[in-house]
Structure 1
Amino acid sequence: MLTVETRHAIDPRTAKGFDTDALRANFHMGDLFRDGEIRLCYTHYDRMIVGGAVPHGSALVLDEVRQCGTASILDRREMAVVNIGDSGTVAAGGESYGLEKGDVLYLPMGAGPVTFDGAGRFYILSAPAHHAYPARLIRIGDAKKVKLGSAETSNERTINQFVHPDVMQSCQLVVGYTQFAPGSVWNTMPAHVHDRRMEAYLYFDLAPDARVFHMMGEPDETRHIVVKNEEAIVSPPWSIHCGAGTGSYTFIWAMAGDNVDYRDVEMVGMEQLR
């Protein structure tokens, strides 16, 4: 079963007037992972698609998505799939790939229908593409690791870069995930914005009663959204994106836009935040 929701782009002036329900309706993505279903959110932020697939004993095939306007989703798109569950397989382009938890699979434009099987919980990210780069299965040992933050500021973390220029080529997708040292709860702090690229976060590995307070909005007009396990946030290019958890968690970050330069950001000083 395939379900697709469309999210239109929101400008910062409009977002200033949103209450909690409106913020969640436009930027929060919950219920992405349902047993036996593929659930997608087609956003108008650089046409990024964010979604989940949970085979749950029966293979699921992702092929035509009407919102893409093509016969098959990857006719003019690339895709990254992150397994956040148990062992599973993803098949496309005549190849089958076994994904353990934490593995990332890149699929190029033209790879055809995508089949999900096994016990995996597959997080799906897709953006328009202009070239067919080789498919690649990237395991945690192949990722580039960047260590940032400190215990003193509660943001000691390791950024694992998978679909990234230092690891492999892609058209515009940049994907990885961040893991924290014990006791650290702040992600992406100090905050930043990058007007040339949108971003999406998926928070997972949270305890059932844990929450992340995700911060968004213009630096001097911040808002927050409360997120539980396996829920995502779409972040407009004009918005900061950071958060703090009540316990341990991991988050997957993904970007699309004008470039794949991870360093193309505008830092936000603490004195700018309101």
Structure 2
Amino acid sequence: MSVQMDYRESTDRAGMSRMTVRELRDTFVIDKLFRPGELSLSYLEIERAVVGSATPTDAALDLPTHKELASGFFCERREVGVINIGGPGVVILDGESFDLARHDSLYIGRGTQAVSFESDDAANPARFYFVSYPAHANHPSKRVRRDEARTIQAGEATTANRRVIRQSIRPGIVETCQLVMGFTELADGNVWNTMPPHTHRRRSEIYMYFDTDPGRVMHLMGEPSEPRAVFMDEGEAVFSPSWSIHSGVGTSNYTFVWSMGGENLEFDDMDVLAVSDLGPGY
């Protein structure tokens, strides 16, 4: 089955400020992920990232290359990070099987020729979410179980952002070229994933929200002085330029996968803002 690549261009600061709510969503939100029996691909102009999902049911789904990549196979010059947010499944890399339970991660190194996704049970399929960036070197593929990720307790209940950050694809756990990836779980009764927000001009970031039903998440992006909002539903991703804030507040607690690519792998390399920096000064 042929898989179409959804090509996404970005915009500059002035362009974002003029966008309607619909234009903002059509530009930055990826909303066709996790369709049963299908694999999806979106090519982002920002950092030349590829965002995709595979939800295999009765048959395996193979990761194809595409003319936008100008390569013989998908990972010829790319690395990939995968996180399973569904039922148990298997990712097969050049004949080697890696079983992934819910919240397990897998790093796929450059040079891996064949990538295939399978579910253990078609009635409870795996939901593989993946992000890919160009890679300059070959690093070994590696699975990271949920409890093997670096775990950070962050936030406070008094500010409604008590959360657990699980860094699964990061220095010290997996060697990568530019990809860092993991997920954050908000505690019951907490709704902000970060506030005040930050920017990092050296890396762009992609959020994919899940465990939101029946609620929604209002994702904030754009310049700090002129933030914009888009509403996110279950299993939707949103990408941000490096100059944009990225923060969200939900109608209840939720979980989200975050991924970054760019100049470095330093988690603390961020420009932290104050709440007073948001919106126009008066």
Shorter-chain-normalised TM-score: which range? over 0.9
TM-superposition CA deviations, 1:201-251 (whole Å, max 9, x none): 0000112x3100000010001000000100010111010000011112100
In 2, Cα distance between equivalents of 1:206 and 1:184: 13
TM-superposition CA deviations, 1:43-96 (whole Å, max 9, x none): 011111111111111111113222111011100000011101001110113311
On the 8 A contact 2:195/2:275 being kept in 1, the answer is: no
Q: Does 2:42 match 1:37? A: no
Secondary structure in 1 matching 2:276: helix
In 1, Cα distance between equivalents of 2:127 and 2:162: 27
Per the alignment, residue 134 of structure 1 pairs with 140
Per the alignment, residue 122 of structure 2 pairs with none
In 1, Cα distance between equivalents of 2:8 and 2:233: 20
In 1, Cα distance between equivalents of 2:114 and 2:8: 24
Q: Does 2:94 match 1:98? A: no
How far 1:98 sits from its partner (Å)? 0.5
Per the alignment, residue 170 of structure 2 pairs with 164
2:75 partner letter: L
Secondary structure in 1 matching 2:22: helix
In 2, Cα distance between equivalents of 1:247 and 1:205: 10
Per the alignment, residue 77 of structure 1 pairs with 78
Alignment of 1:119-158 (within 5 A): 119-158=125-164
On the 8 A contact 1:144/1:166 being kept in 2, the answer is: no
On the 8 A contact 1:3/1:38 being kept in 2, the answer is: no
1:20 partner letter: V
On the 8 A contact 1:63/1:112 being kept in 2, the answer is: no
1:182 partner letter: D
Secondary structure in 1 matching 2:177: coil
In 1, Cα distance between equivalents of 2:216 and 2:172: 32
Per the alignment, residue 4 of structure 1 pairs with 5
Structure 1 spans left out of the alignment, 5+ residues: none
On the 8 A contact 1:6/1:42 being kept in 2, the answer is: yes
On the 8 A contact 2:240/2:246 being kept in 1, the answer is: yes
Per the alignment, residue 252 of structure 1 pairs with 257
Q: Does 2:15 match 1:20? A: no
Q: Does 2:239 match 1:234? A: yes
2:109 partner letter: P
State the identity as a percent: 40
How far 1:3 sits from its partner (Å)? 2.5
- How many equivalent residue pairs? 273
Q: Which runs of 4+ in 1 moved over 3 A?
A: none
Alignment of 1:171-210 (within 5 A): 171-207=177-213, 209-210=214-215
In 2, Cα distance between equivalents of 1:112 and 1:128: 15
1:214 partner letter: H
1:13 partner letter: A
On the 8 A contact 2:225/2:278 being kept in 1, the answer is: yes
CA RMSD across the alignment: 0.9
Structure 2 spans left out of the alignment, 5+ residues: 120-124
Comparing 218-227 and 64-73, the one that deviates more = 64-73
Query: Could you state the TM-score of these two structures normalised by the residue count of structure 1?
Result: 0.98
How far 1:113 sits from its partner (Å)? 2.0
1:78 partner letter: E
On the 8 A contact 2:86/2:102 being kept in 1, the answer is: yes
Per the alignment, residue 261 of structure 1 pairs with 266
In 2, Cα distance between equivalents of 1:167 and 1:116: 23
How far 1:4 sits from its partner (Å)? 1.2
Secondary structure in 2 matching 1:82: strand
How far 1:97 sits from its partner (Å)? 0.6
